Structure 1
Amino acid sequence: MWLRRTAVCAITVPLAFLVFRDSPVRLSATERAAVQPAPKAGAQRPAIVSRAQWHANEALVKDVVASTGTVRTVFIHHTGHPNGYSCADSPGLLRAMEESHIRDQGWDDIGYNFVVDRCGTVYEGRAGSIGRSVLGAHTTGFNAHSVGIAALGTFDPGVPGPKALIEGIAKVGAWKLDRAVNPRGFVRMVSSNDDSLYRRGKAVYLHTVAGHRDTYQTHCPGEALYAQLPAIRTEMARLRALKR
């Protein structure tokens, strides 16, 4: 089953070229206070295009979905698609991605829990992700207690995610993240796979909203989108502070 629980972002680079600005950190006693849950209500569920609406091929799905438990971390990815797509074509891109993840990569289903396109439309990825906290195949060693949200596109240096995409990611992240967890804080996570940057059983502190590169040898979610993680955290906190 390890093959079906590996990371999704397809492009990896040598470790020497990675920049871990938001890597797990060792916190002082004062900083550890920031890890404590924030008393914020969870955000409302955003509009989401279901698998039935984007016509996912359910006949391809191999296994029954498994629960991940309480979501304590949001991992941000990008899919690697060219950015010039029409948003009307997003459902077709998802169908092709689903087929690739299952037939080519050997996973049970599409790896990400949710996908957001450049128009800010949120799509259900892995089956069951709307109704439950479903275990994805997006962040090797850290799929448990996390949700994987992928930006449809490629966000290399100089190609930031558009405002609508950033807002869409923040909406679904603010909704799925456990309401007791601070989106601008840190969380303690434990690696479950030696193929991550951290040996199995290693406990690390991560930003609540982290990039794929923070736990795996990859440049995902792209340098530009990675630099926008602080904006995503801020927007998530704003959404969760609103009265429901």
Structure 2
Amino acid sequence: MSAQSTQRFALLAAVLPIALVVTWDAPPPLPQGDATGPRRPLPAVERPAPAPEVVTRAEWGADEELNTEPVTYTGPSRAVFIHHTNHPDDYDCADAPEMLRSMHTDHVSAQGWDDIGYNFVVDKCGTVYEGRGGGKDRYVLGAHTTGFNMDSVGIAALGAFTDPAAVPGELITAIAEVAAWKLRPGTDPRERVRMVSTNDDSRVPEGDPAELEVVSGHRDIVQTDCPGDALYAQLPDIREEAARLRVAGGR
């Protein structure tokens, strides 16, 4: 092993992903409407956009023996929640599979989940990885946005992304491709969706509704600074690109 590889391995071993990065500031109010006026509706589409290329769990070396519960499936995705993993942004993309293996272990052993929490993980080079097991083409119930895991997909960007210079275009495009693919047919990624909380661990009590962006940040529903400020600021661009891809994919 080279000295450079040894240094990278030491960094990965020392820094585990933080699934929920809590901020003690008062959370902003939940969105209650669109102050910018009506949005442009998308034409109805019979199918989502085509699937992007996805590195499977077998390809990145997931240890399937770590998983503790059978896979649970949910309905077609009504919303997408964008996360970050809080790794340092200066990682080498060649190390992403190793980082995923460490994150998988952390989510099961430290967080107490039955598998990696996110349905998909995207690295800064724009490579999409299958996260939670159960079939990348199916609607798998994740552990990514407490209270709102049903009928939704969690996409995590591998990194912290608090610095605008650290958010590459390849990352934004890849996240939009996954959103355009996984949202149920006919959905406009630029619109809002009304969802009901399934437990009391988010900012919305169990049984209460929340009006959310179809493509939301984790911080929109849970008291956290996830995703990082710079990535969160790019959510409008992700919505627009996902919308464009869905219109193109439905023709």
TM-score by length of structure 1 reads 0.89
State how 1:81-100 maps to structure 2 within 5 Å: 81-100=87-106
Aligned letter for 2:103?
M
The residue number in structure 2 matching 1:39 is: 44
The residue number in structure 2 matching 1:179 is: 185
Residue 225 of structure 1 and its aligned partner are, at CA, apart by 0.6
Which of the numbers 9, 33, 36 marks the counterpart of 2:19?
A: 9
Structure showing greater radius of gyration is: 2
Which of the numbers 115, 135, 149 marks the counterpart of 2:155?
A: 149
The residue number in structure 2 matching 1:190 is: 196
Q: Distance in 2 between matches of 1:38 and 1:144?
A: 25
Task: Tell me the secondary structure at the aligned position of residue 210 of structure 1.
Answer: strand
State how 1:117-156 maps to structure 2 within 5 Å: 117-156=123-162
The residue number in structure 2 matching 1:53 is: 59
Q: Distance in 2 between matches of 1:136 and 1:35?
A: 30
| Maintained 8 Å contact 1:35/1:186 | no
Residue 27 of structure 1 and its aligned partner are, at CA, apart by 6.2
Aligned letter for 2:76?
T
Pair 1:220-2:226 in alignment: yes
Q: What does the per-residue CA deviation read over 1:92-118, in whole Å, with 9 as the maximum and x for residues that have no partner?
A: 000000000000111000000000000
Pair 1:200-2:206 in alignment: yes
Residue 24 of structure 1 and its aligned partner are, at CA, apart by 2.7
Aligned letter for 1:144?
M
| Maintained 8 Å contact 1:160/1:228 | no
Q: Distance in 1 between matches of 2:148 and 2:231?
A: 20
Pair 1:67-2:73 in alignment: yes
**Distance change (3 Å), C-alpha of 1:170 and 1:27:** closer
Residue 195 of structure 1 and its aligned partner are, at CA, apart by 1.2
Aligned letter for 2:84?
H
The residue number in structure 2 matching 1:5 is: none
Residue 15 of structure 1 and its aligned partner are, at CA, apart by 3.4
**Distance change (3 Å), C-alpha of 1:239 and 1:47:** same
Residue correspondences, number: 231
TM-score by length of structure 2 reads 0.86
Q: Distance in 1 between matches of 2:59 and 2:123?
A: 15
Q: Distance in 2 between matches of 1:197 and 1:35?
A: 29
Residue 131 of structure 1 and its aligned partner are, at CA, apart by 2.5
The residue number in structure 2 matching 1:25 is: 32
Q: Which runs of 5+ in 2 are unaligned?
A: 1-17
Residue 204 of structure 1 and its aligned partner are, at CA, apart by 1.3
Q: Distance in 2 between matches of 1:220 and 1:129?
A: 26
**Percent identical across equivalent pairs?**
53
The residue number in structure 2 matching 1:167 is: 173
**Distance change (3 Å), C-alpha of 1:37 and 1:236:** closer
Q: Which runs of 5+ in 1 are unaligned?
A: 1-7
Q: Distance in 2 between matches of 1:133 and 1:73?
A: 12
Aligned letter for 1:57?
D
Q: Distance in 1 between matches of 2:149 and 2:78?
A: 11
